[in-house]
Structure 1
């Protein structure tokens, strides 16, 4: 359901434009395969929070099979990957997992996702390129 209602980036050009054109909000892109169960679960979470975060974040989806342009550059090997950009800059977040470049697991808790986006946005507005997640995910279970 979520993947139908959130905007899709259909080409590398569209991804670049989404990242470059947003001046004041955090750009959140979910990379993955639209039909993948993990992506569908994540998309549902993202869809449910999209309205609540619209003042400071915009959420897009990108099917990495349809748009393979970034698979190597962003190391998109996981079933679902969420990345964050602010003013054309990749924003990193320390989730306690050892991978600061992206969120690469399914997060179903809407408030946790909102907290993460707010934390990254606040850090980005202060000029930081790396922020610390409001929660440590080092002990989370892999799917």
Structure 2
């Protein structure tokens, strides 16, 4: 469980982990530890942490912390859990066939799906890409309805 001991509650903690995570994918899970889907995702993150530890770092972000509202707003985190990926301080995006390429919304169906996504982001980042294609089949990508304000 020590792989996931990092829960970030302050903007400066997020700033510094983004800045200081070099040559690894940084995975930030925005959510709350009381949410059932967050717990399902966290279980997958814990089980996968050792498998991805050579090329990725996982941190949990407490969405209810007042100090991180700027990130919640910036990444438009409306649904939880939402997972955002970085590589060498660059926001990594993924085309998974949804309208939003900036984050993964929901839990992964299984551990291997998460590992495959992180590997795809890492490989793409090593080639200098800022957006990668999702390696998962469409039926294993969570579906959700995007609501746009003022449209």
What TM-score results when the alignment is normalised by the length of structure 1? Answer: 0.91
Give aligned pairs, total: 142
- RMSD between superposed Cα atoms in Å: 2.1
> 1:10-25 alignment to 2 at 5 Å?
10-25=9-24
Q: Rate the CA distance shift 1:64–1:97 in 2: closer, same or farther, 3 A.
A: same
Q: CA deviation digits over 1:81-138, x for unaligned, max 9?
A: 0010001100000111121100001113100110000000000011000000112437
> 1:45-56 alignment to 2 at 5 Å?
45-56=44-55
Of stretches 64-73 and 14-23 in structure 1, the one that deviates more from structure 2 is: 64-73
1:81 is aligned to 82
1:125 and 1:4 map into 2 onto residues whose CA distance is 23
Give the gaps of 5 or more residues in structure 2: 146-151
What TM-score results when the alignment is normalised by the length of structure 2? Answer: 0.86
Does the Cα contact within 8 Å between 1:82 and 1:103 map onto a contact in 2?
A: yes
Give the gaps of 5 or more residues in structure 1: none
Q: Which aligned segments of 4 or more residues in structure 1 are displaced greater than 2 angstroms?
A: 2-6, 136-143
CA shift for structure 1 position 141: 4.5
